[in-house]
Structure 1
Amino acid sequence: MSEVVAVSDALADLVEKGFTRDHGRLEAIFIRLPNEGREELQEASLTKAEGVGGDRWNTNDPRTQITLMNAKVLDCVSQGDRSRWELAGDQLIADLDLSVSNLPVGQRLRIGETIVEVTEIPHTGCKKFVARYGADALNYINAEERADLRLRGVYVMVIEEGVVRAGEAIEKI
């Protein structure tokens, strides 16, 4: 069995088992540095102006400054190699069901001192994701029949600024 098929099979098994729905956990925080560098942080400031403090991705649109991805999905596409999590480019990695049914647009989450809100902008991945994890992984994640699961993650915007720390609870509010 090819490595690609193994990732798709593992993702299918993961989807079938389901995800943590109400009370999640912030598993990791990453920032993107110049020249494609990454850094994992134990804590970060979330602000309306910058999104994640220190992250090079800074848009004028607060709805697209921060991405949140499911840790189990990321671990699966990384084939269990946590050192490859940073390559996804997402800042917040969470053990939480990101599906439309669990986190509709406008759903707010308390993470540490902050409150963020799920935005309507789809997060679908890019050619860098394909280069790092494979086309079949992205095709599985982005398949139309699984779009409502949001396996690639969601965009969130800051409602209340503050500090988040790896390991903190995530609560739907």
Structure 2
Amino acid sequence: MSIESLLEAARGSPRDAGRVELIVVRLPGEGRATPPEARLSVDGGLDGDRWVLDSGADPAKQVSLINSRVLDVLAAPGRGRELAGDNLVVDLDLHEENLPPGARLRVGAAAIEVTAHPHQSCSRFQRRYGQEANEAALGPAGLAQRLRGVYARVVRGGLVRVGDPIAVTSRPGRREARPR
């Protein structure tokens, strides 16, 4: 695993529309649940997730997303995808140029908005995926590509299922084409 392999994996992701590959509910302690569907709510984030306890209910960190292709490089045999602790594992380009703060996405029946709060790596991430992965995520290229993921807030609640589409509906400062 190298920074180049992580960046290459991320760059292969679709820019405008992808899919939800895994839903992760962080349980008390370090437990994880991976339900086939879950509800996103404006007040509670991902139902059942410990977000309210961990972050003091900061809406800027309500839901976390990570690129599935990056996670596949990191999650070598014996290291599960759910251990990263991100709520939605998605096949979508999370680069800051593609999804600047304020970008909105439709995910399943819900809508979320990317926040400016940086998603930093933590000691758990380093313990689970290694120092090299941690350093790659925190380097300039890794931060721009958002190898560690991105935070979002829920703007419209709704049900999300594994396999659901995730699509960019707007980006700040850009007019989006609407299908006719």
The normalised TM-score by structure 1 is: 0.90
> 2:131 is matched by which residue type in structure 1?
A
Out of 74, 79, 88, the position equivalent to 2:76 is 79
Show structure 2 runs of 5+ residues with no match. Answer: 170-180
> 2:155 is matched by which residue type in structure 1?
I
1:57 partnered with 2:51: yes
Aligned length: 166
Identity value in percent:
43
Task: Give the number of the structure whose residues are more often helix, by fraction.
Answer: 1
Q: Is the 8 A contact 1:7 1:76 kept in 2?
A: no
What residue in structure 2 maps to residue 123 of structure 1? 119
Out of 3, 6, 9, the position equivalent to 1:11 is 6
Aligned-partner SS, 1:120: coil
Shift of residue 12, structure 1, vs aligned partner: 4.4
Shift of residue 18, structure 1, vs aligned partner: 2.9
Shift of residue 13, structure 1, vs aligned partner: 3.7
Q: Distance in 2 between matches of 1:75 and 1:141?
A: 14
Q: Root-mean-square deviation (CA), in Å?
A: 1.6
1:34 partnered with 2:31: no
Shift of residue 56, structure 1, vs aligned partner: 1.6
Task: Give the number of the structure whose residues are more often strand, by fraction.
Answer: 1
Show structure 1 runs of 5+ residues with no match. Answer: 1-5
What residue in structure 2 maps to residue 153 of structure 1? 149
What residue in structure 2 maps to residue 162 of structure 1? 158
1:135 partnered with 2:131: yes
CA distance 1:158–1:145, change in 2 (3 Å): same
Q: Distance in 1 between matches of 2:22 and 2:2?
A: 22
What residue in structure 1 maps to residue 67 of structure 2? 70
The normalised TM-score by structure 2 is: 0.86
